[in-house]
């Protein structure tokens, strides 16, 4: 898996505020939304385009537009919903599919409780959004699901990643001959005994949606 940790002072500034336990839910949602837009700029570097010509008021100009089929954006419910608007703002013609997954907090295994996306993803470029890559169980299962449906190019956007999660993804996805990328705002130190990212930001879903 090709991994990019976005190194930018504005990303670091917003991420620091997001981590702060004193940041309330409305501010957390706004910061997550702003961070996605910054990450999406990097994450869409390989988005497929078609060359076209347009007529300016002066002369023909060569340019590009997004190729069809349009990209599919897949938020992993629930916390991934906090990254959806930022992503579709940058890719307004993208389709959106949904994966509902929850980590069993005792076993740390990911369980899928909802799938609502096209049956056939052959040839599709997919952007998966989920703020947290902790053990990597959730994201690895999500990407395997998308590849099984035929997706041939998958980019995941996360706000935070743990080294253990990236190692797990590399192991599970080894030998897959399709582009798989991760773009994250930070690579943190480690996981704690409860599988939480350290220093992290706590439970992203709870902080987005105000559950305490």
Ligand X SMILES: O=c1cc[nH]c(=O)[nH]1
Residues annotated within a binding site for 5-phospho-alpha-D-ribose 1-diphosphate = 78, 103, 130-138, 203
Q: Please give the size of the binding site for ligand X, defined by CB under 6 A.
A: 8
Query: What x-and-dash track marks residues 73-112 binding ligand X by CB under 6 A?
Result: ----------------------------------------
Using CB under 5 A as the binding rule, the residues of this chain from 185 to 204 that contact Mg ion are 203
188 is catalytic: no
Centre a 10 Å sphere on the Cβ of residue 50 and count the other Cβ atoms it contains.
10
Q: What element of type H or E holds 169?
A: helix 163-172
Q: Is 147 left (phi over 0), alpha (psi -120 to 50) or beta?
A: alpha
Nearer to ligand X, 74 or 197 (CB): 197
Contact 145, 101 (CB under 8 A): no
Contact 64, 52 (CB under 8 A): yes
Partner in contact with 197, chosen from ligand X, ligand PRP, Mg ion, none, beta carbon below 5 to 8 Å by kind: ligand X
73-111: string of b/e by CB count within 10 Å (b at 16+)?
A: bbbbbbbbbbbbebbbebbeebbbbbbebbbeeeeeebe
Closest contact distance (angstroms) between CB of 103 and ligand X is 6
Residue whose pair of structure tokens reads 């590849």 in the numeric block: 147
Nearer to ligand PRP, 47 or 83 (CB): 83
Using CB under 6 A as the binding rule, the residues of this chain from 145 to 204 that contact ligand X are 196-197, 200, 203-204
103 is catalytic: yes
Q: Which residues pair with 190 in a beta bridge?
A: 198
Active-site hit among 27, 107, 116, 190: 107
- How far is Cα 82 from Cα 75, in angstroms, rounded to an integer? 8
Using CB under 6 A as the binding rule, the residues of this chain from 108 to 167 that contact ligand PRP are 108, 110, 130-139, 165
209 touches ligand X by CB under 6 A: no
Label residue 140 exposed, middle or buried (CB < 10 Å: 0-12, 13-18, 19+): buried
Using CB under 6 A as the binding rule, the residues of this chain from 76 to 105 that contact ligand PRP are 76, 78-79, 101-103
Residues of this chain that interact with ligand PRP (CB under 6 A) are: 76, 78-79, 101-103, 108, 110, 130-139, 165, 195, 203-205
**Residues with catalytic roles:** 103, 107, 203, 206
Q: Which residues bind ligand X (CB under 6 A)?
A: 132, 134, 196-197, 200, 203-205
């Amino acid at each position: 898996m090709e991994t990019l940790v976005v190194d930018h002072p504005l990303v670091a500034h917003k991420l620091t505020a997001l981590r702060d336990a004193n940041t309330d839910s409305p501010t957390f949602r706004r910061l997550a939304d702003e961070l996605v837009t910054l990450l999406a700029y990097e994450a869409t570097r390989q988005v497929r385009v078609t060359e076209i010509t347009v007529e300016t008021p002066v002369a023909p100009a060569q340019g590009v537009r997004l190729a069809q089929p349009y990209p599919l954006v897949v938020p992993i419910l629930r916390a991934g919903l906090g990254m959806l608007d930022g992503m579709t703002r940058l890719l307004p013609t993208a389709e959106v599919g949904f994966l509902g997954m929850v980590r069993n907090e005792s076993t740390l295994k990911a369980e899928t409780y909802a799938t609502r996306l096209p049956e056939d993803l052959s040839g599709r470029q997919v952007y998966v959004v989920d703020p947290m890559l902790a053990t990597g169980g959730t994201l690895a299962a999500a990407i395997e699901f998308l590849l099984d449906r035929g997706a041939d190019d998958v980019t995941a956007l996360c706000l935070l990643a743990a080294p253990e999660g990236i190692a797990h993804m590399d192991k599970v996805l080894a030998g897959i001959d399709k582009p798989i990328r991760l773009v994250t705002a930070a690579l943190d130190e480690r996981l704690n005994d409860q599988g939480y990212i350290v220093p992290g930001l706590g439970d992203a879903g709870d902080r987005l949606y105000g559950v305490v």
